[in-house]
Amino acid sequence: MHNEQSNQDRRISRWMMVLLAAACGLIVANLYYAQTLVGPIRDAIGLSSATAGLIVTVTQIGYVVGLLFIVPLSDIVENRRLTVIMLTVAVGALLTAAFAPYAPLFLIASLFIGTGSVVAQILVPLAASLASKDQRGRVVGSVMSGLLLGIMLARPLASFTASLWDWRSIFVLSAIVTALLTILLWRVLPVRKPSPAVRYRQLLLSLGTLFRHTPVLRRRALYQAFLFGAFSLFWTVVPLHLADAYGMSQSGIAWFALVGVDGAVAAPIAGRYADKGWSNRLTGLAIIVAVLSFGLIHLFHSHSAPALILLFITAITLDMSVSGNLVISQRAIYSLGSEARGRLNGLFMAMFFIGGAIGSSLGGWMYTQGGWMLASLIGTVLPLLALIYFLTENWALPGRSRIRRENS
């Protein structure tokens, strides 16, 4: 890519790294504001309890569309211009969602919020390309930490804002912040114009080839899809469960969601140990933690104080398993080469969010059909499927060579 080699001779500045980390966090937060507001949004736009999961699912579908059709453009289109265009789309969609009077318009706006927010997955590879080789791991880890903090903080911020005003206010606030961020990134981001070797149509067709011929990508994407499916199911259903079973207000749900932010601590720790060759063991640990987290809240499901405490613990441990394995997986994906980095990252994140969309949709429907017991059972099954698939890894790939590839 243009200037990729010359970037190895200079180091990315600290303020640029902080800016990109903050930008990723602010942008990706748009995907999660609605998670703890499912109840009030459902009531305001006229959705039934059975279809309330669409509020989160449609946004994630929009993100997947962006990952498959927009992120690959970062391999052939000047990255700063692409960033500004997609953020402008996000601003318009956020304002539309804020003032949407009925469900169809809100859901269409949610779709475009997801598509516009895909910029976060353009900025992460951009940060990697701006870093020198010896600092690339640290830079990607720092930017991903910002992205994960955005994911974690979005839910409590949305609930606190809704408790002060109403649910629409968070969308207006985010539109203003995203507009200001768009102007800032246009002014300060360096020009990065790749040297395209293929046309856009060929680029899209190459996605299937990359997926078929990259076993590390397939496995990492499926592990994360199962984990994120459980994560999304939990955060779609638990606000409804807390309101129904414990009578929590939006403020109370916000404090609950804030606890999950502690799970972000797993990201830098996982990154450090992955550098020491622990990727495979950490992945197994993350999946087991997710299974136990959901399994315990399924078994101990009373409306008692101990059951509520267990929900708080699960909010932390489930977030830890998802965020820790995400960093490990992206480290493995970025080690596969720079010429297709945008497409590899897009495929990985698309699978990741397809899992999330399925989890959100299943969660809302299962909660309506069978309450917390059925929803938490499905939440336990999803990471259990990941564990079963993980146990086949030694048969699917030669163990020693696999570990060397992932940790290189």
CATH number assigned to the domain comprising residue 117: 1.20.1250.20
Query: Does a structural domain hold residue 269?
Result: yes
Is the predicted pLDDT of residue 183 greater than 90, yes or no?
A: yes
The pLDDT of residue 134:
64
- Of 308, 26, 396, whose CA–CA distance to 182 is shortest? 26
The pLDDT of residue 346:
77
Query: Does a structural domain hold residue 117?
Result: yes
Angle at 129 between CA 123 and CA 134, to 5 degrees: 125
CA end-to-end span of the chain, whole Å? 22
Least confident of 47-56, 76-85, 90-99, 105-114: 47-56
Quickly tell me which residue has 């998670």 as its tokens. Answer: 35
Indicate the angle between helix axes 14-28 and 168-188, nearest 10 degrees. Answer: 150
Q: How many domains does the chain have?
A: 1
- Of 25, 22, 70, 47, whose CA–CA distance to 368 is shortest? 47
The pLDDT of residue 281:
86
Is the predicted pLDDT of residue 10 greater than 60, yes or no?
A: no
Query: Does a structural domain hold residue 70?
Result: yes
Q: Bigger pLDDT: 33 or 265?
A: 33
Alpha helices in 100-199 (DSSP H): 103-116, 120-130, 136-164, 168-188
Question: Whole-structure pTM over 0.85, yes or no?
Answer: no
The residue segments making up the domain with residue 241 are 6-192+200-407
Q: Bigger pLDDT: 408 or 9?
A: 9
What Cα–Cα distance (Å) separates residue 164 from each residue in 18, 55, 60, 235, 316?
30, 21, 27, 21, 25
Query: Does a structural domain hold residue 336?
Result: yes
- Residue 106, CB half-sphere, CA atoms under 13 Å: how many? 23
Is the predicted pLDDT of residue 33 greater than 80, yes or no?
A: yes
Query: pLDDT for 236-275, tens place per residue?
Result: 888 888 888 888 887 787 788 777 777 766 766 776 776 6
Query: Does a structural domain hold residue 304?
Result: yes
Query: Does a structural domain hold residue 268?
Result: yes
pLDDT-derived band at 3, boundaries 50, 70, 90:
very low
Q: What percent of the chain has pLDDT over 90?
A: 23
For the segment 214-221, the average pLDDT, to the nearest whole number, is 88
Cα–Cα distance, 80 to 185 (Å, whole number): 8
Query: pLDDT for 306-356, tens place per residue?
Result: 888 888 888 888 888 888 888 788 777 767 766 666 678 778 888 887 888
Query: Does a structural domain hold residue 1?
Result: no
pLDDT-derived band at 196, boundaries 50, 70, 90:
low
Query: pLDDT for 82-93, tens place per residue?
Result: 999 999 999 999
For the segment 216-241, the average pLDDT, to the nearest whole number, is 89
- Of 90, 83, 85, 73, whose CA–CA distance to 31 is shortest? 90
For the segment 82-108, the average pLDDT, to the nearest whole number, is 93
Mean pLDDT of the chain: 82
In this structure, the number of other CB atoms found within 10 A of the CB of residue 261 comes to: 19
Query: Does a structural domain hold residue 292?
Result: yes
